[in-house]
Amino acid sequence: MSESARSMILGPSVLYGVAAVALVLTIVRRPAKNSPDAIDTIIRLYLIGIAFQCLHFTEEYVTRFYVRAPEFLGLVAWPSEFFVIFNLVWIALWLFAAVGVKRGMRVAFFPLWFFAIGMVGNAIWHPLLCLATGGYFPGLFTSPFAGIIGVLLLSRLRRLTEPAAAPIQRD
Is 168 among the domain residues? no
User: How does pLDDT run across 122-155, given as a tens digit for each residue?
Assistant: 999 999 999 999 999 999 999 999 999 999 999 9
- Provide the pLDDT for residue 31: 87
pTM for the full model?
0.91
In a domain, 25, yes or no: yes
Compute the distance between CA of residue 42 and CA of residue 107 in angstroms, rounded to an integer: 16
Task: Give the total number of structural domains in the chain.
Answer: 1
Residue 14 placed within a domain: yes
Within a domain: residue 74? Answer: yes
Helix (H, G, I), strand (E, B) or coil at 30: strand
Give the model's pLDDT for residue 88: 97
Span 9-19, pLDDT tens digits: 999 989 999 99
Domain range for 141 is 3-163
In a domain, 125, yes or no: yes
Q: What is the DSSP string of 98-164?
A: HHHHHTT-GGGHHHHHHHHHHHHHHHHHHHHHHHHHTS--TTTTTHHHHHHHHHHHHHHHHHHEEET
Q: Within 10 A of 146 (CB to CB), how many other CB atoms are there?
A: 23
Report CA torsion sign: 156, 157, 160, 161: negative
Is residue 171, in this structure, part of any structural domain at all? no
